[in-house]
Structure 1
Amino acid sequence: MIRRFLDQAAFKAGQEGAVIMLGLRPDTISALLLWGLQDRANSVALVPVSAVLTRE
């Protein structure tokens, strides 16, 4: 279920330029790391939220 939300967020980021996802539970963070290591390395960058908020 978490991966489905991440896939939707990646799609939206492709349309809008950036999306901020926040996960606080250990299982959410684990799913995020596994998801990021899959075949999305070429299309998605996992960065600190400050990188998105301070970008010009």
Structure 2
Amino acid sequence: MTDGENTTGTRRDTPVFPILFGDSDRSEPAHIADLTGGRLFDARSGSLDGAFEEIRGYQ
């Protein structure tokens, strides 16, 4: 989990699947997903459980 602030950079060899919830900022998590080959999930209008289920499909 993260607050969406980039403080040290991101490695490109591990896909990251950020999940938005609450009042999260979309820009930095979307950038992290793009850099790592992952995907951004938006649980602000759905459930965290649903987002985790979708992410499991990538493994």
TM bin (shorter chain): 0.3 to 0.5
TM-score (normalised: structure 2)? 0.34
Higher helix share: 1
